[in-house]
Structure formats: structure tokens, C-alpha cells
Chains A and B, each alone.
Chain A
């Protein structure tokens, strides 16, 4: 892991203003991402986990400047990219790519696979028209698809095959960094493993860096170097995979880990689950203080009033929780 991060995310905030009521007469703010800080190092896989709607995708989108950040910085190659307009962003776009969850809407249904994969190559002038077919064939081979797929349309492919095409499209730009937003969540169990293997192979081959957004902790544990846990728009904990899974500090991380079922009936029989009571609060009106306090089994008075600080409690292990802070301090 290099000392200098590939991408530095500083105090990233993304709020959405939405209209409510039958006539859109009331405005309200969705606190989708609030004051998030982390670094991404070249060649690593950093995962973001958390319940749906906690702001994982929004973090990924804002980081790529696909949605305008409300405030904060994302430093890439010495430039704060979230402040750039579309035109000045264009040179960076090539290096920063994204793969989406839904294999059915990730490809333009009116374009052939060859056009889908070839378009970014021509647009960024990475090859001439004459070289294009060979390039496309190579990219398809990279993701395990035969060349004849170039003349196919997306609706003729299965979900796993479409996801491979989406990965080939991202690779076409020769990127350094790919956000995988739930890239395997919609796939069948047997196909998930194929795509995970593919992502791992490509990382090795091209030295890619991944921001892997997922909610399946077993998969995250398998492929990540570091893992960040989000809750209602804030990072709760960020640590290496070993630290997080063997020594989770944040009460939410602990509950999350205990809720993941293991494919082992013997283990499941004896396992102690920590069931959280209550539902995830609305991001329209997140609780004051620590956002987890409404469901936290060890919440204190302080938690209801004061936002816990994002601290590094040991090398590479960040957490935001008053209880942890008290423990490590005293």
C-alpha cells in the first residue's frame, strides 16, 4: 500500500433537496452523505457496507462527480475533482469508472455489445477505427466473453453476461479506479462467484483499485483489504478487513456482523445473535447526536446530543462512537 493515497475524500457532504406533499409544497432535505472522510490507496479494494439507503451509492456517485457534492473535497491527482464542471472533469472521467447493480438497465438496449464497449475507446481516442474490432475482441476476452457477442444486443444476454459487458465497458477506458456499486447483488448465487473471480483477476492483471459497495458481508470479507461501515449517511467505522471482522468496535458494526447468517447449521444453532430493535430512521430526519442512538443497545445521554468524533483508535482503525472513545481514553 503506497503512502500517498490514490483518492482522498475529505469532509464529503451530499444533501438532496426533495419536495414532499401532493403538490410538492414542502421542501425537505435528505441527509444522504454527511461529513465522510477516507482515503483510497492504489491497488486496494475498499468496501463500503451498510443498510440500504445509508448513502453508500451516493458516496460513490459524489466521489466520481456524477452527482454534485454539497461540500467537501475529493482529491485525485492533486485536483479537487468534485469542484470541476463536466468539461474540465472529462480528462479524469477516463480514469475513474463505475459498474452498477442492475444488469438489466446498465446497458443501452439500442446498442450492440460491440458499440457499448467500443464507444469509450473511440470517444477517448484510445484506438483508431481500424484497430477497434481487435480491441473490442480483446476486452470481451478479458471478461470471458467470445468475440461473436460484439454483434449481440443486451436483451439477448443473461444477467451475468451483461454484468461482464458492463465491466468490459469500464475497462475500455483503461481506468485506474472502478466503483462497483452492488455490482454482484442482483446476480444468482452461482453467477456471483464467477463475477467476483473476474473482478479479482482483472485487479491483478491491470492493478485496478476498487471501491466495492455491497451489503453482503460474506462477499465483502472475502475480497476487501479495508472495509468502511456506513450508517445513515455517516461512516461509523473503517478498518482493515482483519481488524473489522475480528475486533469490531462500533456497536452498529457488531450488530451487523451478528446478523449475517453463516452457511453452517451447527454454528447457527449456537450462535448468539444481537437483534437490533426498531427500524432504520428516515434520512429526512436523522436523529441528533449519534445517528445510531435510537437503536444502539448502549446509548448514553451524551449520544443523543453530541455527534461522536471520527477518530483513529489504532493504526488504520477509525471509529465514531462515544462509548469506544471513553474505553480507549480511560
Chain B
């Protein structure tokens, strides 16, 4: 994979902050996320359940559920701020320039509509295609995502397809209008490993063919190792580390990233040896600690960590690698 030029990112999210209304009052769930995706680049967003991965992506197309609001920040897509766009502009972007693949294919597909019709809808709407043309394109899309016999399958209802096939239909829907950016929210989490391998291969293949940018959300670090160009590690609604994929696995710098990588069992482990693990659990929204959100679980935490919030800063000498940690930054400086 060649590192694509990142002079002018396709998507540039800055300081995105999302708040939720709870009974204890408003609580911040996403706290000033910065994220860029270059043209043709594939970015992995990794983080544990509940750290705000899905909400960040939903906020980009302004599909946040009730009671959850964007409180600040900008999200420029091809030079326009998605968060300030008019409704009609936004409709052009949703499903047109930005394609979405959701976590759960069964609840995201309309169960009472044939998959062909669901595929045609955005084509007719965004591309002003005739019904016949849209139908042809739908068949083409199903073939593209590797569904056998697409001419027959187009009349199937979602429940008549297997989980893997439904997920491929979802991807086909995300791709329908040749998006410039595909956002895939845990598209393989519900699938088996052999099917997951099929989907990963498919997306790699399509990305090359269509030169799209991809944001791949997951909690599986191993999965993205062979798939993405760059990784952003999320913890409790903030990006704690951001680096090219090879760099991240070779030189994980944030204590959380290191902990995550260390807790994955490796080929070389002895049987039944203790895994290194991170104690504790991620904070609930509304109970984020003051200072570094990782501090209560961090073995390296110092007094400053409990008082001030570290910001994402470049790791000297390694271009494109940024980390938000006081101690790691200091250690890097000392080493230099």
C-alpha cells in the first residue's frame, strides 16, 4: 500500500464534540475528536464498545438519535462543513457522496422491501436514473459485491439471504452512487471469520477499482492490520493515538494502544500463559474522569494526568504519528 498524499484531506474533522442528555444532566460522549481521511486513503477507527465510534460517524451525516447533539467542531468534506450544510445539500451527500455500511445488516435493511428496490432507491433519487437503468445498475452492484445469480437475487427479501449476503447487500447499497467516501461501521462484527475474510477482500478490491476513501470502524485490531493505511485509536470519545498502520503496530506509543496490542494472544505465546491485560473498564459517559480519560486504568499515570487533559501531538521523528499522552511524550523527548 502506498501512502496517498495527504495535503488536502477529503474529510477533515476538527474538535468534534457530542453531548448526550442524561438524567444526571448533559454528558460529553465524544470530546473534541480530530480525524482526517485523505483521498483514496483507508483509515481504521479502533476502540472498545461505547467509546463513540458509531456516534462520530453518524454525526457526520447528521443522523444522531434524539437527545444526542453535536456541541462543537467542524467536519469539512471536500471543503464544505457537513455540520452546517443545509438539509437539501446534506441529502445530496448522504448515500450519494458518502456511502454508509451499518453495523447490523438485519435492522438496517427494510425487511418488507425487495433488495433490488432498496438498491434502486438512491440511484433514482441521487442519480436521476430511470427505473430500468437503476435496475441494471443494481444487478451490476450485486455482482460487484460477489452475490451469485444477481438477476434472481434482486427480487429477494432481506430475510431470504444469509448474514454474509445481507452484509454484502449493505455494502452494495453503500457503493450504489460511487461514493467518494465509504464509512463502514463494524461491517463484519456479526459475521464468521471465513465470511469476514470474504468481505475484507471485497472492500480491498473495490477500493482499488473505484479509488474511494474508506473509514473502517472496528474493535478488532488484528482485522485492520492488513486492511488500512492509517489507524486512529479512540478511547472514551477522544483520539488517543493516530498513526500509519505499520508505525502503530511497530511503535505503539499510548499506554492504551500498547495495552490493547499486548492483550491480543499471539502465535508465539506459550499455552495458557497469562495474557497481559488492562485492569478496569472504560468510563461510562458522564463519569469521565477529570484529566486524561485513561488515567484511572493507566499504569504510568502521574499526578499531572489526573489534572490536565493531554492533547494529540506529533511524535517527533515519525511523520504522521500523533499521540495524546504526557508521559509518552516526555519519554520520547528524553530518548531523543
Contact = CB atoms under 8 A, between A and B. Distances in A.
A and B: real partners? yes
Interface of A: 45, 51-52, 158-161, 188-194, 196-197, 200-201, 203, 215, 217-219, 221-225, 241, 255-256, 258-269, 271, 273, 275-276, 278-280
Interface residues of B, number: 46
B49 A188 contact: yes
A257 to B, nearest CB: 9
B274 interface: yes
Interface stretch (B114-122, B129-137, B218-226): B218-226
B277 A222 contact: no
A273 B197 contact: yes
B272 A194 contact: no
B226 A265 contact: yes
B243 to A, nearest CB: 11
Nearest to B221: A263
Contacts, number: 132
A263 B275 contact: no
Q: Across chains A and B, which 8 residue pairs bring their CB atoms closest together, nearest first? A: A268-B226, A193-B277, A193-B263, A222-B265, A259-B197, A51-B192, A263-B222, A188-B48
Contact of B263 (A161, A189, A225): A189
B225 A264 contact: yes
A221 B194 contact: no
9 contacts: A161-B281, A188-B282, A203-B272, A215-B193, A260-B193, A261-B197, A261-B225, A265-B225, A276-B197
B224 to A, nearest CB: 8
A126 to B, nearest CB: 28
Contacts of B265: 196, 218-219, 221-222
B192 A280 contact: yes
Given A188-B49, A222-B265, 4 more contacts: A158-B281, A197-B275, A222-B272, A265-B249
B162 A280 contact: yes
B164 interface: yes
A219 B272 CA distance: 10
Interface in B240-267: 245-246, 249, 259-261, 263-267
Contacts of B197: 258-259, 261, 273, 275-276
Contacts of B200: 261
A279 B162 contact: yes
B269 to A, nearest CB: 6
B263 A190 contact: yes
Contacts of A196: 265, 275, 277
Nearest to B246: A265
B226 A193 contact: no
A138 to B, nearest CB: 21
A188 B265 CA distance: 14
B165 interface: yes
Interface in B2-58: 48-49
Contacts of B274: 197, 200-201
B201 interface: yes
A279 B282 contact: no
A221 B164 contact: no
Contacts of A271: 226
A266 to B, nearest CB: 7
Interface string B140-181: 000000001000000000000010110000000000000000
B222 A262 contact: yes
A311 B149 CA distance: 38
B264 A218 contact: yes
Nearest to B274: A197
B198 interface: yes
B222 A218 contact: yes
A325 to B, nearest CB: 23
Contact of B281 (A188, A215, A276): A188
B278 A263 contact: no
A203 B273 CA distance: 12
A196 B264 CA distance: 11
Contacts of B193: 51, 215, 217, 256, 259-260
B209 interface: no
B234 to A, nearest CB: 12
A32 to B, nearest CB: 16
B201 A273 contact: yes
B46 to A, nearest CB: 9
A188 B219 contact: yes
A275 B278 contact: no
Contacts of A221: 265, 267, 269
A222 B246 contact: no
A188 B283 CA distance: 13
A58 B198 CA distance: 27
Contacts of B196: 259
A196 B200 CA distance: 28
Given A189-B48, A256-B194, A276-B198, A194 B225 contact: no
A137 B261 CA distance: 33
Interface string B267-292: 10101111111110110000000000
Nearest to B196: A259
A73 B188 CA distance: 37
Contact of B264 (A51, A223, A263, A276): A263
B257 to A, nearest CB: 11
